[in-house]
Every structure is written in C-alpha cells, then in structure tokens.
A and B are shown apart, each in its own frame.
Chain A
Amino acid sequence: MRENEILLKEQLNDVVVKFVIYKPMIAASAKAGQFVILRGAENGERIPVTLVDWDAKKGTITVIIQSIGKSTFMFNSFKQGDLFLNILGPLGTPIDVHNYGTVTVVGGGVGIAEVYPIAKALKAAGNKVIAILGARTKSLVILEEEMKGVCDIVLPCTDDGTYGQKGMVTDVLKGIVTAGEKINAGFVIGPIPMMKFTSLLMVELGIEPYASLNPIMLDGTGMCGCCRVTVDGKVRFACVDGPMFPARTIDFNELIRRTGEYKGEEKRAVEEYEKNHKCKIGLH
C-alpha cells in the first residue's frame, strides 16, 4: 500500500463518491469535525474535504466527495489504486465531544456524510443522538445504514417525498420537538441556507446550534485568511478556529456572499474540463 492510495472507491449515487485512502499519519490523529485538503494533479486546486471516518489500525481515512466543480469531478473520476497527489491534515479544531444529553445531528445532501463522524463521537460520549438526513430526492439520501449504526433515531426526509418524510429538515426537527423530544444541542452541516434556517429554528426551539462552515480555503493552515467568517462580530478563520462554530452568531449572509466570489471562474473551469474530457466511449 502506498501513501495516498485509494484502497476502495464506492459510488454512492450519480454525483457522490466514497473513497477509503491509505494515509496512516492522518488516520492516527484525526478527530470528529476535522478535515483534510486534497490535491489531485499538478496545477490543481487545494480542496478542503471533511474526514468522514478513519481507522488508525489500518492506516486509512474515508472521505465522501460530491462532484460540484472541476476539481471534484476530477477526484471522482479517480479509480481504486490511483493516488491523490497531496493530502494534508487533519486540519481544523475538533468538535467539543462530551455528554450534552440529547443531541440532533442534521445533514443536508453530502452534509449527511459530514455529520456522520460527529454522530459517532457524540454517541460514544453517551449522548442520545437523533439524526435528520435531508435530501432533494431519494437517491441523494446517503449513509442511512451507517447512521443507524451510531444513532438512536434516524429520520430521513426528501423535498419531493420520494423517501422518508416529505419536507425539509426544519419540518422534521419541528415535528420531533413538538412531539415532546427535549434536545440540548444540534450540529448541522449542509448548504448554507439550510444551515442558516436550521440554526435559527434551533434557537427558537431552545436547542444550542452548531454549524460547520465551508468558506473558500487555500492553504488550510491559517496562513492566508481566505476562509474568514464573522462569528459573534469577530473575524475568525474557519480553517483553524472552525470549521464548526456556535451558530447563533454566525453571519451566514456574509458567508454566502464570500463563497460566491469565484462562481464565474468555477463555471468556466467546469466547461473547459468537460470540453477536454469528452467520454471516449460515448457513455455521456
């Protein structure tokens, strides 16, 4: 086994891929809430990706990647046996794992994968863990079985009602609290608007909210300041101070504006990539 080698690749749905990678140094020191930075090729970007799982004995880490831009399309085209060019980590501050009582972990889309290690750590710390897994449609609900293995209750929901409850994660959360569940803390990861509205609702319901932020990053070590966010009126660096922050005071609107900075360039890069990577056997 070589360092950075993909030992296992599993396509979870059309756009989401799970990779198990040989990386002993990271596997030995990873904690829930941390991430790695991946690079796939010379001239490639540095892309932050949450550590979904790790196994210190086997020396492996697990990441789950959704194809969104050029770099993630490239990553997801890698095959078993291929090598990532660079993997740096574990980065960021781990979440504060202790017994909160009852917690909810709320994942939206590929964010389900990102709350998995948090659910696992919180369960091990003695919490009652309720997971809410939100997705647009059935095929995008991932890791349900794994979540069932580490949570007391797992509640999937889809926007179109093709699986689980029809509706959004906020509807499900409101439902369980109304039904009498007392929840002390909530950890939410997903698209920024989903995190914003879920956090607002949690505050309303008396649940202390935490959200994991995904600003644009470059080095991931605190050196460039690209990932700065405003929390409680203060400038914080998501790569070293986060990515998980108490969500009551996160300026989500600023985060939305800053993550959109390179939308045009991202689109252009994907177009160029697709032009240069036409499927040669005509599959698509």
Chain B
Amino acid sequence: MPNPSRPRNNGKQQDPAVRRKNFDEVALTFTHEEALAEADRCLHCPTHPCQNACPVGVHIPDFIAYIKAGDVGAAASEIMKTSLLPAICGRVCPQEKHCEGHCVLKAKFGSVNIGGLERYAADTARAQGALKPPVPAASTGKKVVCIGSGPSSLACAAELRRAGHDVTVYEALHAYGGVLRYGIPSFRLPREVINKEIETVQAMGVKFKTDVLVGATIKVDELLKEYDAVYIGSGAGLPTMLGIPGENGVGVYSANEFLTRINLMQAYKFPQTDTPIQAGKHVVVLGGGNSAMDAARCAMRLGPESVTIAYRRSREEMPARAAEVEHAQEEGIQFEYLVTPKEILQDEKGRVTGIRFTRNELGAPDERGRRRPVEIPGSDFVQPADTVITAIGQRPNPTITKTTSGLKTTERGVIALNEKGETSLPGVYAGGDIIRGGATVLLAMNDGIAAAGRINEYLKGK
C-alpha cells in the first residue's frame, strides 16, 4: 500500500558551510532505501496530473512503479520513452512548476519528489549498466543535421536517431552540451552527468563534431545541399548589457562570461587550468533569474568576503527556480531587492569600485502579470563592489539568422515559426532559445522533441 502521509524527502544535500567552498554537487542522489520510501508515497493516480503537467509527458507514475518494484533499468527505460536525458532533467527541471506542482499530495503532505526519483532512476540504472539507449528504427536513408549541442538540439538529435535517420550534431565550442556545459555549474549538474548523457546519445549512433560555428564555418544554405533537413538549436548566446555608464569597467562580467570561465574553462582550478578568473572581495550580481543564482553561487565558491544579488523587483517576482534561491541563501549570499543599477563606479585605472543604485517600489503589473518596479526619487545609494556580474538576460545570437538567406526572424531577433511550427525555409526547423530568446532547459528540450516529430513527418513526404 502507498504511504502518502510520510513527509516528502527533499533528499540529502552537502552542508552549506562546506559546499560554498567546493564545486561538487549540492544535492545527493537518493539511496536505494530513500528512493523506495519516496516512491512508496506515489498514489499512482489513474488521471496522472503530474504526467499531464510535464511538457515532455514523462510516464511518471509508471516509472515510479518500476522503482517501487526494484527495477531501476525499467524505470529509466520508461522515462526514456519520452525523454532521452533523464539524469539532466531530474536535476535541472523546474519541477515545482510542472509535475510536482500538480501532484495531488502537494497541499496536504508535500508533492512526491519526482525530480529526485527521476535522477535516482537514471543515475542508478547507469551505474548498474542497466540504462540502455533505445534501439533506433531501421535506417530511413535520410540525413539530418542539428545545429548546437545544447538541450534542444540534443533532444532533437536523439529523437531523430530513434526514428532511424542519419543524424549529425555540430557544436561551435570545444565541448558538447551548450548551456548545460558553459552555463549550468557543476554543483548543480556535474560534468560527468553531461558526458554520460551525451555518450548515451552517441551510443544510439548520433555523430558529433566540435568547432563548427554554423553561419561562419559553414552556412545553412550549404548544409541544405548535404542534408535532408536542418534543426537550428543554437541557443540564446548573446548577453544583454545594461546600457549604463561604467559597464566596460575592469571587473564587470556578463553572467555568460563569468559562468563560461568557470564552467566550460574550469577557471576555478587556475593555474592547473589555463583560463583565469577574478572574484575580488565584494561581488554584486545584477539580475534575478537562474543565471544570476548560478553566477552568485559560483562567485561564492571563489572565496570572496561577500556576494550580493541585486534585483529590481521583490522576491516574489524573481524568476529563478525556488530551490536555487534557497540554496543561494543557505550559502550566505545576500539579497538586495527593489534596486535598479544606475552607474558602475570605477577608480582612475578603470577598476570597479561600486555600483550606484536607485531604490524601487512595486507598481502595477506588467503584461506578464509581474508587478513593475517604480523608482523612488532621491533614493540613490552606493554599494561597494570590485566585481560586478550582469545577469539580466540574453538574446538570440544572430550568427545563423544573419547568414541564412530567406530565414525570417521576429523583431526580437528570434527565428519566426508559423502555426505549424515551421520556419520560413522548407526543411529548416528551429527550437529552444533561438525561438524563445531565453527560457529553460526543459522548454528547449521539448521544442527539440516536437521538432523531431515534425521533421519525421516532413521526411516521410520527401
């Protein structure tokens, strides 16, 4: 019998005082006993609201049932029927907004820890050698190229390969994973997990190549001569700057730069690695999304005296995943709400010395329903800082859109799709941040999976 009234197990975590000094994973994978007990809380609702709320439709009650039955290999295979990156999803999905947010136990006893169980199934099955990549369908003889190796492109490539196509992934950087590799820190998503998930996709027969920047090394027009279809999952990849005085001061980083130095280039190991980074004594991160949390928590691990996240609205409007905000707070990161940066102050050598802020109050809601910050006149103050990290969002990188003839974009620079999810070019599909401008790993993956379905249909008629 299920035991829903047992309290939700959030899973063990590294002690904040310890973890703020290392880059090892914060959350630990469930033990066998913990997983069984948590799985036992699931009521296996016939209407499965959790599954309905999952953008990629993971068969949640079914995979949990396999965990209960002690068959993690089957649990992992069940997840992989709809999502081929379970170890990543279990870690970085905003479960509280999707599956766990719709669990019937949520109000009374706390939702089943679905993310924790998904991750347990993937990690444990993999460790036992029981995680089997799906066997691709018979070869269709069709060739597809996926641009980028981030979550969207990876998911698309894996699904296309499952359907029997010959699939190649082109990555611009020297390592695969896109934002998973350069953006998300190892304490949230260990590099080994990314490597293993990509190895699984490779084991299915997807071919990967680094150092190809489509739009520069080769153009989409040329790819269309060689491939039957093209999927563009090239990501956001263009940081939004503040547009305030002093933003080119020495010690001002975009979150992309700061995170890339640490996550992709492993600058925190300098001089064992060759790429340096400076955190200084007082770090201020501007923004309230996941990138801001990631940057602040990375900065904390470099050992400064203080790290502060400054956000223009209040805690309630902050877009970051709830767990990341809590983790940041536990690690000693300070939060300054309702402030707008006006100027980054520099000394005579151009080094950052502080930020001049204005305080805000909340006004009427904006078009997305979040209350708008309204500046309070005369409320300026200076916060000392020697490192400033701007994490105020990203826009699509224009390398591909600028160099592809006939590919339509919107006024925001994202690739335009019609109601059928097609771009303006036949055989060219797109998803993830290149159509959204900056969203989550899960939405990007979902786009990739959906596009794979459309590409399958398109290739059938070809």
A interface list, Cβ under 8 A from B: 25-26, 29, 39, 43-46, 70-71, 85-91, 218-219, 221-226, 228-230, 235, 240, 251, 254, 257-258, 260-262, 265-266, 268-269, 272
Q: Is the CB of A225 within 8 A of B256?
A: yes
The residue that B260 contacts in the complex, of A45, A223, A240, A261, with Cβ under 8 A, is A223
The residue that B271 contacts in the complex, of A235, A260, A268, with Cβ under 8 A, is A268
| A25 to B256 CA separation, bound complex (whole angstroms) | 28
CB distance from A37 to the nearest CB of B (A): 9
Task: Count A-B pairs with CB separation below 8 Å.
Answer: 119
Residues of chain A within 8 A of B398, CB atoms compared: 222, 240
Q: Is the CB of B248 within 8 A of A269?
A: no
Closest to B256 in A: A224
Q: Is the CB of B237 within 8 A of A221?
A: yes
The residue that A43 contacts in the complex, of B211, B212, B251, B273, with Cβ under 8 A, is B273
Q: Is the CB of A269 within 8 A of B256?
A: no
The residue that B254 contacts in the complex, of A71, A225, A230, with Cβ under 8 A, is A225
| Complex A-B: 19 CB contacts under 8 Å | A29-B216, A43-B272, A43-B274, A46-B265, A71-B274, A86-B174, A86-B210, A88-B212, A90-B216, A218-B260, A218-B265, A223-B239, A224-B239, A224-B256, A224-B260, A235-B243, A254-B350, A257-B350, A268-B271
Closest to B269 in A: A43
Residues of chain A within 8 A of B182, CB atoms compared: 219, 223
CB distance from A70 to the nearest CB of B (A): 6
Q: Which B203-221 residues have a C-beta within 8 angstroms of A?
A: 210-213, 216-218
Q: Which B354-413 residues have a C-beta within 8 angstroms of A?
A: 397-399
Q: Is the CB of A45 within 8 A of B257?
A: no
Q: Is the CB of B218 within 8 A of A218?
A: no
Q: Is the CB of B257 within 8 A of A221?
A: no
Closest to A41 in B: B274
| A89 to B269 CA separation, bound complex (whole angstroms) | 27
Tell me, yes or no, whether B224 is within 8 Å of chain A by CB: no
CB distance from B208 to the nearest CB of A (A): 14
Q: Is the CB of A226 within 8 A of B217?
A: no
Q: Is the CB of B274 within 8 A of A221?
A: no
Tell me, yes or no, whether B276 is within 8 Å of chain A by CB: yes
Q: Is the CB of A88 within 8 A of B239?
A: no
Closest 6 CB pairs of A and B: A265-B276, A257-B350, A224-B257, A225-B254, A43-B273, A223-B237
The residue that A258 contacts in the complex, of B210, B266, B350, with Cβ under 8 A, is B350
| A221 to B247 CA separation, bound complex (whole angstroms) | 20
| A228 to B239 CA separation, bound complex (whole angstroms) | 11
Q: Which B270-292 residues have a C-beta within 8 angstroms of A?
A: 270-276, 278
| A45 to B172 CA separation, bound complex (whole angstroms) | 15
Residues of chain A within 8 A of B237, CB atoms compared: 221-223
Given contacts A225-B241, A262-B276, A266-B276, 11 further A-B contacts (CB under 8 A): A29-B216, A43-B266, A86-B210, A88-B174, A219-B172, A221-B399, A222-B397, A226-B253, A240-B399, A257-B349, A265-B271
User: A221-B172, A221-B237, A224-B239 are contacts. A257–B274 as well, Cβ < 8 Å?
Assistant: no
Closest to A270 in B: B271
Closest to A88 in B: B211
User: A225-B254, A235-B248 are contacts. A91–B275 as well, Cβ < 8 Å?
Assistant: no
Q: Is the CB of B248 within 8 A of A224?
A: no
- Best-surrounded residue of B213, B216, B270, B276 (most CB of chain A within 10 A): B216
The residue that A269 contacts in the complex, of B218, B251, B269, B274, with Cβ under 8 A, is B274
Q: Is the CB of A218 within 8 A of B399?
A: no
Q: Is the CB of B274 within 8 A of A44?
A: yes
CB distance from A68 to the nearest CB of B (A): 13
Q: Is the CB of B270 within 8 A of A265?
A: yes
| A80 to B261 CA separation, bound complex (whole angstroms) | 31
Q: Is the CB of A235 within 8 A of B213?
A: no
| A89 to B172 CA separation, bound complex (whole angstroms) | 9
Residues of chain A within 8 A of B247, CB atoms compared: 235
Q: Is the CB of B248 within 8 A of A26?
A: no
| A89 to B253 CA separation, bound complex (whole angstroms) | 24
CB distance from A220 to the nearest CB of B (A): 8
Residues of chain B within 8 A of A228, CB atoms compared: 241, 248
| A261 to B31 CA separation, bound complex (whole angstroms) | 46
CB distance from B199 to the nearest CB of A (A): 17
Residues of chain A within 8 A of B260, CB atoms compared: 218-219, 223-224
Q: Which B232-256 residues have a C-beta within 8 angstroms of A?
A: 237-239, 241, 243, 247-248, 250-251, 253-254, 256
